Amino acid sequence: MDPLAAIRETFFQECEEQLAELESGLLAMEGGDQDPETINAVFRAVHSIKGGAGAFQLEALIRFAHVFETALDEMRSGRVPITPDVLKTMLRAADVLADLVRAAHDGSETEHPLASGLVDELKAMSGQAADEDEAEEDWGDFEFQPMAAAVDMPEAPAGPAGFVVKFKPRGDLYAKANEAALLLRELARLGQTVVELDAHEVPPLTEIDPEAAYLAWTITISGDTDEIAIREVFEWVDGDCELEITKQGPADGGFDMASLLARVQDEAPAEDEGPAVVPANAGEVDVASLIANLSPAAAPEPEPAPAIAPPTLSVVASAPAPAAPDAAPEAQAAGGPRKSEAGATIRVDLDRVDRLIDLVGELVINQAVLAQRVMEAGLARASAVAMGLDELEQLTREIQDSVMAIRAQPVKSVFQRMPRLVREVAAMTGKPVRLVTEGEGTEVDKTVIERLADPLTHMIRNAIDHGLESPEKRAAAGKPAEGVVKLAAFHRSGRIVIEVSDDGGGINRERVKGIAIEKGLVAAEATLSDEEIDNLIFMPGFSTAAEVSDISGRGVGMDVVRRSIQALGGRINIVSKPGKGSTFTMSLPLTLAVLDGMVVSAHGQTLVAPITAIVETLQPKAEDVHSLGGHARVISIRGGFVPLIDVGMALGYRRDPLEATQGVALLIEGEGGSRAALLVDAIQGQRQVVIKSLEANYRQVPGVAAATILGDGRVALILDIDTIVTVSRGDMRKAS
């Protein structure tokens, strides 16, 4: 990858982190967090995005981020009160900012449909003139004192690293809604400035063209700054002004490429870095200076960095900092928190982790093969080899767990996308909704996380669109107008459970059953339990909305959700209380890489049943098994009857059912808590198997979730228990 593209990529990665920070900060504030540091963090996030965007000349992003940042600054300084309405606007602005970042990343930087409206809202909020496009900030927070100090001392000598900036705007600069005064103000932030105004071109009032530009300025800047930082101030007005920057006095320090790269990658700057790379607002500058350094022409020959700026100068230069409220947090953004993070994390290509995980998978298989060989060789269990092998097995498992932990991520990354979805759907449906999230820190394998977003999105849409009642109905039912959708994640018995619940009206069972009958999904005379009715909504072709709505419609029903969850080796079910709401519960494996399985055989084939689905195993007694006609059988277990499914038959290995007493039954619990007994020939044992996707290597086979390689080198199929049960149940219905 060429270096610029790599830095660009890093910028966008950081943008994602900043956006996450931004949203969680705003949400925390919505939840009543009054900590100034939260507001600062939010401001910094937008500020950093703007800074990077400036370096890459992402115009749409810069403009929007600028207005957004200004509004946040107003909020930070207390001039815009932090009210729920203000925060809602900010959150929507965060959404648009996220879109703009992604658009910029894809290179499809176009106008965002919502951007201009929000820009107006933000400007109205922060008192920015609505018709000024950018570069308009409230000047109230600019403390006068530091400027006064600079102006009062026109004789102050220029510092050793001084610059003289000659700046003459053209009419276009103002026409494009830029403001000379603001550019001067930005310059003033870079160091101590002495501003000289040249107004000799200003004509008498009768001849003046209010749209034209007559003024020119000569600004002398001293202090720790560099030309890149100065140029950056003028980057938006490049071409709309005459600009001349000349260096005064001794040279400032050369750039250290390695330390600059380190900065971009969140590493602490090298200690011997020259002052030039620590400009006043380093947060904005680092990427820009990097880019400048990448083009060899622009890179100054490294010169010895000046020892340290003279003490007197540094005192003067740093004097404005306490007075200017912006300076301190910016400095913090550039230095403070990043430094502390630097040692804690590293970025690694996912490919490398995936490869490691694959290799560890092979190691697990290999270890199993070795164990098998040792057993076949007839060595005693207490033999040194066998004991060593046991230790190896434990170690392998530990390695595997640790490697999996590398790829494990908190579900936060998916949960974070949901507040936005909720806001959008709430706006579309006109239902006020509050999203409550719990257990965002719950970790699960990245491969699972990636595939969680779609089903979750659909379920949340569904919960708001169909689950929650209209505000009027809620009021009539004595509920608060604002509906609550709760998203919770937690670990339970080696799986991750994700619940999506709403406090709506619950499932209208009469209606659901009516529709199911109408659509021919169930027989009209069928007697169904409440739970069975609730689960009807997962049937293909079922949709309770009388008309396909814009939001949850789209011809995709809950059956698709269930299928995608099942494809992850998960289960989903619903519990609904009339008038109180519904709760969808998804239970998913923590990883798609390994599985604890029960190795069984059916008609000479070795199969693996996921152990999480198995409740118990039992030896069927003849008197407990009852035939229902055809091949359908049920088995009586502790007073209840559950279907007995012959796995060999279900997978087409044999035509005639196995005599129940000759096999072993696995009592399994499918989705929705429904039970069934799987009849297999024998149980071989229990072991952890490495999942090899069948779809990736062959194609999807109904009733088979994946494959694995056993210790003897043979391929064994992993059963998709839910599908087997569902298909068999269908066969049973047909048979009966």
Q: Where are the alpha helices (DSSP H) in 451-543?
A: 453-462, 471-476, 509-518, 530-535
**Exactly one of 43, 64, 142, 255 binds another protein (CB under 8 A); which one?**
142
* Least distance (Å) between residue 205 CB and another protein: 4
Asked if 39 touches another protein (CB under 8 A), the answer is no
Q: How far apart are CA 272 and CA 256, in angstroms?
A: 9
**Exactly one of 19, 26, 46, 184 binds another protein (CB under 8 A); which one?**
184
Q: How far is CA 606 from CA 368, 660, 668, 670, 690, in A?
A: 15, 18, 18, 22, 15
Give the interface size with another protein as a residue count (CB under 8 A): 39
Q: How far apart are CA 729 and CA 535, in angstroms?
A: 14
Asked if 698 touches another protein (CB under 8 A), the answer is no
* Least distance (Å) between residue 453 CB and another protein: 44
What does the block give as tokens for 204? 């008498």
| CA nearest to 399, candidates 359, 347, 459, 345 | 359
* Least distance (Å) between residue 60 CB and another protein: 22
**Exactly one of 25, 159, 160, 169 binds another protein (CB under 8 A); which one?**
169
Asked if 325 touches another protein (CB under 8 A), the answer is no
Q: How far apart are CA 374 and CA 42, in angstroms?
A: 60
Q: How far apart are CA 711 and CA 688, in angstroms?
A: 11
Using the contact rule CB under 8 A, the part of the chain among 147-155, 349-357, 375-383, 707-715 near another protein is 147-155
Beta strands in 82-161 (DSSP E): none
Using the contact rule CB under 8 A, the part of the chain among 23-31, 144-152, 615-623, 661-669 near another protein is 144-152
Each residue 8-37 as x (binds another protein by CB under 8 A) or -, in order, gives ------------------------------
Asked if 642 touches another protein (CB under 8 A), the answer is no
Asked if 308 touches another protein (CB under 8 A), the answer is no
**Exactly one of 4, 6, 124, 129 binds another protein (CB under 8 A); which one?**
129
Using the contact rule CB under 8 A, the part of the chain among 36-44, 172-180, 577-585, 711-719 near another protein is 172-180
Using the contact rule CB under 8 A, the part of the chain among 140-148, 272-280, 344-352, 590-598 near another protein is 140-148
**Exactly one of 136, 226, 286, 720 binds another protein (CB under 8 A); which one?**
136
Asked if 385 touches another protein (CB under 8 A), the answer is no
User: Which long-range CB contacts under 8 A does 553-558 form with residues at least 24 apart?
Assistant: 556/458, 558/458, 558/459, 558/462
* Least distance (Å) between residue 323 CB and another protein: 12
What does the block give as tokens for 720? 């998709």
270 DSSP 8-state letter: P
Count Cα neighbours of 595 within 13 Å in the Cβ-side half-sphere.
30
* Least distance (Å) between residue 169 CB and another protein: 6
Say how many C-beta atoms besides its own lie within 10 A of residue 179's C-beta. 18
Using the contact rule CB under 8 A, the part of the chain among 40-48, 126-134, 456-464, 718-726 near another protein is 126-134
| CA nearest to 67, candidates 173, 168, 182, 170 | 182
250 DSSP 8-state letter: S
Asked if 295 touches another protein (CB under 8 A), the answer is no
**Exactly one of 6, 153, 197, 348 binds another protein (CB under 8 A); which one?**
197
Of 324 and 365, the one with the shorter C-beta distance to another protein is 324
* Least distance (Å) between residue 247 CB and another protein: 21
Of 214 and 653, the one with the shorter C-beta distance to another protein is 214
Of 153 and 476, the one with the shorter C-beta distance to another protein is 153
**Exactly one of 31, 140, 310, 322 binds another protein (CB under 8 A); which one?**
140
* Least distance (Å) between residue 184 CB and another protein: 5
Burial (CB count <10 Å: 0-12, 13-18, 19+), residue 343: exposed
Return the residues of window 200-259 that contact another protein according to CB under 8 A: 202-206, 208, 210-215, 217
**Exactly one of 16, 109, 132, 424 binds another protein (CB under 8 A); which one?**
132
Whether 44 contacts 22, CB under 8 Å: no
| CA nearest to 588, candidates 567, 608, 616 | 567
Using the contact rule CB under 8 A, the part of the chain among 88-96, 179-187, 228-236, 673-681 near another protein is 179-187
Asked if 195 touches another protein (CB under 8 A), the answer is yes
Q: How far apart are CA 180 and CA 215, in angstroms?
A: 9
Asked if 139 touches another protein (CB under 8 A), the answer is yes
What string of DSSP letters covers 537-580?
Answer: GGSTT----SS--TTTTTT--HHHHHHHHHHTT-EEEEEEETTT
| CA nearest to 465, candidates 411, 502, 520 | 502
**Exactly one of 21, 33, 59, 138 binds another protein (CB under 8 A); which one?**
138
3-class DSSP assignment, residue 666: strand
Q: How far apart are CA 702 and CA 727, in angstroms?
A: 9
Q: How far apart are CA 89 and CA 245, in angstroms?
A: 40
Say how many C-beta atoms besides its own lie within 10 A of residue 194's C-beta. 18
Of 199 and 384, the one with the shorter C-beta distance to another protein is 199
* Least distance (Å) between residue 178 CB and another protein: 9
Of 151 and 436, the one with the shorter C-beta distance to another protein is 151
Backbone angles phi, psi at 469, to 5 degrees: -85, 170
What does the block give as tokens for 398? 């530990």
Of 209 and 349, the one with the shorter C-beta distance to another protein is 209
Each residue 68-107 as x (binds another protein by CB under 8 A) or -, in order, gives ----------------------------------------
Count Cα neighbours of 324 within 13 Å in the Cβ-side half-sphere.
26
| CA nearest to 222, candidates 149, 115, 299 | 149
Whether 608 contacts 719, CB under 8 Å: yes
What does the block give as tokens for 629? 């006609």
Q: Angle 517-520-522 (CA atoms, 0-180°, nearest 5)?
A: 60
Q: Spell 325-340 as b/e; 16+ CB within 10 A means b.
A: ebbebbbbbbbeebee
Of 170 and 412, the one with the shorter C-beta distance to another protein is 170
Of 202 and 682, the one with the shorter C-beta distance to another protein is 202
Asked if 155 touches another protein (CB under 8 A), the answer is no
**Exactly one of 6, 153, 181, 298 binds another protein (CB under 8 A); which one?**
181
* Least distance (Å) between residue 326 CB and another protein: 15
Q: How far apart are CA 642 and CA 668, in angstroms?
A: 10
**Exactly one of 134, 179, 252, 266 binds another protein (CB under 8 A); which one?**
179
Of 149 and 484, the one with the shorter C-beta distance to another protein is 149
Of 185 and 434, the one with the shorter C-beta distance to another protein is 185
Q: How far apart are CA 178 and CA 171, in angstroms?
A: 10
* Least distance (Å) between residue 224 CB and another protein: 21
What does the block give as tokens for 427? 């706006």
Whether 482 contacts 430, CB under 8 Å: no
Q: How far apart are CA 109 and CA 94, in angstroms?
A: 17
Of 169 and 597, the one with the shorter C-beta distance to another protein is 169
**Exactly one of 9, 111, 196, 401 binds another protein (CB under 8 A); which one?**
196
202 DSSP 8-state letter: P
Of 197 and 481, the one with the shorter C-beta distance to another protein is 197
Of 209 and 525, the one with the shorter C-beta distance to another protein is 209
**Which chain residues interact with another protein by CB under 8 A?**
127, 129, 131-132, 136, 138-140, 142, 144, 147-148, 151, 169, 174, 177, 179-181, 184-185, 188, 195-197, 199, 202-206, 208, 210-215, 217
